[in-house]
Amino acid sequence: MIPRSHSSLQATWQQQLKQSAISASELVERLQLPVEMIGQLEKASSGFPLRVPDNFLQRIQPGNLSDPLLKQVLPDLAELEHFPGFSNDPLDEQHQSTPSGLLHKYPSRVLLVVTGACPVHCRYCFRRHFPYQQQQMGKQGIEKCLKYIEQHPEINEVILSGGDPLSAPDRLLSDISSRLDQIPHLKRLRIHSRFPVMIPDRINDSLLQWIGHSRLKPVMVLHINHANEINQDLTDACERLKRAGVLLLNQTVLLKGVNDSSEQLCQLSETLFNVSVQPYYLHLLDKVAGAGHFEVSQTNAINLMHQLLEKLPGFLVPKLVREVAGVTSKLPIDLNL
């Protein structure tokens, strides 16, 4: 465990979460955007509320509507448009036969939906329509999920998901981790999170205590889409996780207007490597209703990958993948090499 001192005046991660911008007027004021945008932002976010932590806002250039970080969190009227092939549940997750809160999408891995809460509402989120209220577990629900995992020896990895699993208190996460430790056929505990990016102080002593003492090999998959997201606070958080024995990977969603150039993707891979995070996946957009304006065609994605292969060493080139409902793994995209 890596000790970390906090000033008594420093806000906890929970306090920082409460200080997030959650209204159009607040976002406009903080980022010096045109006041006349408030109405359209309110309309665009009517079905999927706005939420952006202050730490992330500080990395956005005030007044710049083209800022790649802003584009990820700024509600857009295009979210209200219908795009062919896009749906509320593009991965068909709502028809799983497992206990509520558990998704057995892949033979050897299960996703445990710990919470529906998230520190940020990314506008391309593939679970923006997910019925989290129907997936609330509680103590009995968690017991059912753990029982299911115990009864399926083919499962060797549990993935904590959400929402963002780190929205849950460390007491709960520690209890879940301890119970998973006792299931002999499990090997790894994976966590997918945007928290280290959005509120780096979430990586505190309490979290490092339980994650660093698990029998299971801890893996954290960060969701970082642009090099500008990586600041000193995130770098420090990654260092704390690394010292606790956590393997750090990153998955990026390919987003139109955010990171759809080889220059941006190369810079992201290089910057990730500098902070000891391994580029892992480059995801084609999941076709969720409300995110069609972010889509980059598969043809353009393949062209970008060809450029990355020319410009980067192989270990810095992420795998280009797509997730398809009903398929038992992520599908690698044929690069036609």
Query: DSSP string covering 30-61, please?
Result: HHT--GGGHHHHHHHTSSS---B-HHHHTTSP
> DSSP readout, 196-244?
HHH-GGGS-HHHHHHHHT-SSEEEEEEE--SGGG--HHHHHHHHHHHHT
Q: Is the pLDDT of residue 291 over 50?
A: yes
Decide: 145 and 104 in contact? Cβ < 8 Å. no
> For residues 58, 61, 63 and 66, what is the CA-based torsion angle, rounded to 10 degrees?
-130
pLDDT of residue 116: 86
Q: Is the pLDDT of residue 182 over 90?
A: yes
Q: Round to whole Å and give the CA distance between 262 and 70.
A: 20
Mean pLDDT score, 175-185 = 97
Q: Is the pLDDT of residue 3 over 50?
A: no
What are the tens digits of pLDDT across the range 37-89?
A: 999 999 999 999 999 999 999 999 999 999 999 999 999 999 999 998 888 77
Percent of the chain with pLDDT over 70: 91
pTM: 0.92
Q: Sorting pLDDT into bands at 50, 70 and 90, what band is 90?
A: low
Q: Is the pLDDT of residue 315 over 90?
A: yes
Which domains are seen in the chain, by residue range? Answer: 13-80 (no CATH), 93-332 (3.20.20.70)
- Return the minimum-mean-pLDDT range out of 21-30, 132-141, 216-225, 268-277: 132-141
Known binding site: residues? 118, 122, 125
pLDDT of residue 126: 78
Q: Is the pLDDT of residue 95 over 70?
A: no
Known binding site for [4Fe-4S] cluster: residues? 118, 122, 125
- 231 Cα distance to chain centroid: 17
pLDDT of residue 153: 98
Q: Is the pLDDT of residue 328 over 90?
A: no
What are the tens digits of pLDDT across the range 102-144?
A: 989 889 999 999 998 999 999 999 777 665 555 556 788 899 9
Beta carbons within 8 Å of 88's beta carbon, 6+ residues apart: 129, 288, 289
